[in-house]
Amino acid sequence: MGGIVGYIGPRPAAPVLVNGLKRLEYRGYDSAGVAVWQDGQAAIRKRAGRLAVLEQLLAERPVTGSLGVGHTRWATHGEPSEANAHPHTDCAGRIAVVHNGIIENYQTLRAELEQQV
């Protein structure tokens, strides 16, 4: 289980995303993260632990931009860790993905993507 929030609009995205994640924290609290697009790249901030840990990271390393996605995670597959926290990105940092549940066909998807590199 987890909570997903997105924002696009005139305000800075990070505070809007964090506020939305606070409302969804009951859906997942072993890690949290956000992706905010700035200068054509996804700026990722994520941490294992409760949302307060992510808030501390954002205070230390703020992100700017008015488009983003956020996620709180409650691990159903894979251990709670920063590596397993969402968002996940492509190798170029252009795409960020958050999802809930298990991607059953991940091996097939991974093989296809590795062939494209």
- pLDDT per residue over 30-54, tens digit each? 999 999 999 888 999 999 999 999 9
| CB-facing half-sphere around the CA of 109: CA atoms within 13 A | 5
64 Cβ contact list (under 8 Å, min separation 6):
12, 14, 36, 38, 43
Whether pLDDT at 18 is above 90: yes
Averaged pLDDT score across all residues of the chain: 91
Q: Which pTM does this prediction carry?
A: 0.87
Nearest Cα to Cα of residue 31 among 41, 45, 46:
46
CA–CA distance, 26 with 33 (Å, rounded to integer): 15
User: Does the pLDDT at position 89 exceed 70?
Assistant: yes
Task: Quote the tokens at residue 117.
Answer: 């590199």
Q: Is the dihedral of CA 21, 48, 60, 95 positive or negative?
A: negative
CB within 8 Å of 7: residues ≥ 6 apart = 13, 16, 17, 20, 66, 67, 68, 69
